[in-house]
Copies of this chain bind each other. A is one copy, B any other.
Amino acid sequence: MSKHNIRLKDIAEELGLSIPSVSRALNNKPDISEGTKKKVFELAEKLHYQRNEFAINFKNQQSFIIGVIIPQIVHHFFSNVISGIINQADIMGYNIMLFQSNESFESELKGVKTFQKSMIDGLIISLSDNTHDVEHLKYLQAHNVPVILIDKITNAMDAAKIICDDYKGAYYATEHLISLGKTKIAHITGSLNPYTTKERFRGYKTALKDYNLVFTEHLVKKCNLVSTEEGYTTTLTLLAGEIIPDAIFCATDPTAIGAIKAIKEKGFRIPEDIAVIGFSDWNMSSVVDPPLSSVSQPDYEMGKKAIELITQEIQLSRENKPIEYQTYVMETSLVLRESTLGKK
């Protein structure tokens, strides 16, 4: 930040005018003569004058900065969410201040406090897995800073929330496996991020029930990290069990990729013997062998929606109008590939 940027004062002094007159000229205010206006414009042009938005925002008590806190940037889903957030924020005239909590509550708390002191106009946050207390977010809200929860949400506070329909996505995925004639459908679930995982589990169970398939406790395995490695070992356990599944619905793509590896290693065919479907449609999913069917989440659109909502809330908040909080459930879609459909 230069100390030698051109200020209104520089222009005013050179033209023998007062600072407000220069301001009025540059902003095309009525109370200024055409001649002065022209002189000011020309000098401003010549000196490459740029308005100091920092000063204006300070005066107007509005930063045009939206804080974004997510658990991890290096994540297919979140990087797409951020992409949507940034592109839409640009359209709406806002800047994005980004922070990652690395799944730590302390870090998230620190991020919120830093943002608060930086006078963000609003916060879009996806909670860390270790966040159970949301007083820091309620405090922001209480001070007229709109907060929007995205993906990893909580019921512990009233706010606009954006999620994708994990339940329906899981239901459709399971339904798809059923439509292939599979009857012994396993599910590898996760324990972290309770909300989405629970919803996926619920979708799985409901689909089984709706199609009159027996829910078998043995066919449901829990994975803590939902990683490729855990997917691999968990699937090996599944395959060594009494009931060998003929399909596996995994709560995440990495888990599904681990499952594919285990299934191939044990000599089963995919999808003939065991079909596999994941969740989230990671970019890697199309390149594994066989390419993985998955449930695609509207990540980019969720980010875009978050900006649309928060800019509205910021506006309402400035006008001291009441804000009605809704939860926006966005549709998922099935992306079918060889891991369920087989070779074309």
- Let me know if A86 and B62 touch, CB within 8 A: no
Q: Mark A1-18, 1 if CB is under 8 A from B, else 0.
A: 111110000000000000
Q: Mark A56-83, 1 if CB is under 8 A from B, else 0.
A: 0110011111000000111110011011
Could you tell me the distance in whole angstroms from the C-beta of A308 to the nearest C-beta in chain B?
18
Check: A222 CB closer than 8 A to any chain B CB.
Answer: no
The 8 Å CB contact of A145, one of B1, B51, B80, B261, is B1
Expressed in whole angstroms, the Cα–Cα distance for A232 and B74 within the complex equals 26
Check: A114 CB closer than 8 A to any chain B CB.
Answer: yes
The 8 Å CB contact of A100, one of B65, B87, B102, is B87
Expressed in whole angstroms, the Cα–Cα distance for A114 and B93 within the complex equals 9
Could you tell me the distance in whole angstroms from the C-beta of A94 to the nearest C-beta in chain B?
10
If A53-B118, A257-B287 touch, does A80 touch B74 (CB 8 Å cutoff)?
Answer: yes
A interface size (C-beta, 8 A): 65
Check: A211 CB closer than 8 A to any chain B CB.
Answer: no
Expressed in whole angstroms, the Cα–Cα distance for A80 and B100 within the complex equals 12
Check: A325 CB closer than 8 A to any chain B CB.
Answer: no
- Let me know if A116 and B86 touch, CB within 8 A: no
Top 6 A-B pairs, shortest CB-CB distance? A284-B284, A2-B143, A2-B144, A289-B289, A53-B117, A54-B119
11 contacts between A and B (CB under 8 A): A53-B117, A53-B118, A55-B58, A75-B79, A90-B107, A96-B98, A228-B286, A254-B287, A257-B287, A287-B287, A287-B288
Q: A52-B117, A74-B83, A90-B114 are in contact. List 20 more A-B contacts (CB 8 A).
A: A1-B61, A1-B62, A2-B144, A2-B145, A3-B61, A50-B116, A53-B118, A72-B83, A73-B79, A73-B83, A95-B97, A95-B118, A96-B97, A97-B97, A228-B287, A254-B287, A257-B287, A284-B288, A287-B287, A289-B289
